[in-house]
Amino acid sequence: MSNQHMMPPPIAKAIHFGPFLVFHTTPFSFALVNLKPLLPGHVLICPHRSTPRLSQLTAAEIADLFQTVQLVSRTLTRVYGASALNIAVQDGADAGQSVAHVHAHIIPRRAGDEGGGDRVYDMIEGEQGDVGRAQRELEEYRARARPRFPKLDEGSRRARSESEMRKEAEWLKGEMEKDARERRGGNV
């Protein structure tokens, strides 16, 4: 493997992935809160380099992506009191991927939650999980220069405000740092 596959891609500007806020970064990946989480704690993990398919990522990017999934999963399990997690990647448009940028969904789960066993996968693949729709609608909204986020759908899930997402992102960032200190053997 050449050195170019081992070095992270340069990040020349801020990370943009629709109306989401980043709470954790690594050399190759970032974790962000979701505008319209399917269940509390639903976050996304993405590689910095935008590509639609897992097969287009380098070995280093794949390793970092899934190590980040594992790391963030530990924190989500603790802070949301999860007894299980759904971790999903829709690899391509025909698999339900609504944004042509690889991303893994992590959804904390508990017995009896509204995700109902495998029902959460139907939610991810359906209109509720259409990350691209939220992104497209936000771009349309910004083009119209309205002062507030648009109402994205009439379903039971509402779009969260930037303030709500920022609060969750800052909280999760602090919790990730707390877990990192604990792994290093420092005081929590």
Confidence of residue 113 (pLDDT cuts 50, 70, 90): confident
Confidence of residue 35 (pLDDT cuts 50, 70, 90): confident
Looking at the domain assignment, is residue 76 inside a domain?
A: yes
> What are the tens digits of pLDDT across the range 140-185?
554 555 444 334 344 566 788 888 988 999 999 999 999 999 999 8
What average pLDDT score do residues 28-39 get?
Answer: 90
Q: What is the pTM of this model?
A: 0.71
Looking at the domain assignment, is residue 3 inside a domain?
A: no
- Of 24, 42, 101, 103, the active-site residue reads 103
> Is 101 among the catalytic positions?
no
Gap between the Cα atoms of 105 and 129, Å rounded:
10
Confidence (pLDDT) at 70: 98
Which domain covers residue 173, as residue numbers? 12-112+158-187
Looking at the domain assignment, is residue 183 inside a domain?
A: yes
Number of domains in the chain: 1
Looking at the domain assignment, is residue 21 inside a domain?
A: yes
In sequence order, the 6+-apart residues with CB closer than 8 A to the CB of 42 are 34, 105, 106, 107, 108
Residue 97, annotated as binding a ligand: yes
What's the CATH number where 164 sits? 3.30.428.10
Residue 99, annotated as binding a ligand: yes
Looking at the domain assignment, is residue 108 inside a domain?
A: yes
Confidence (pLDDT) at 128: 54
Looking at the domain assignment, is residue 7 inside a domain?
A: no
Looking at the domain assignment, is residue 179 inside a domain?
A: yes
Looking at the domain assignment, is residue 166 inside a domain?
A: yes
What average pLDDT score do residues 33-56 get?
Answer: 93
Residue 186, annotated as binding a ligand: no
Gap between the Cα atoms of 131 and 17, Å rounded:
10
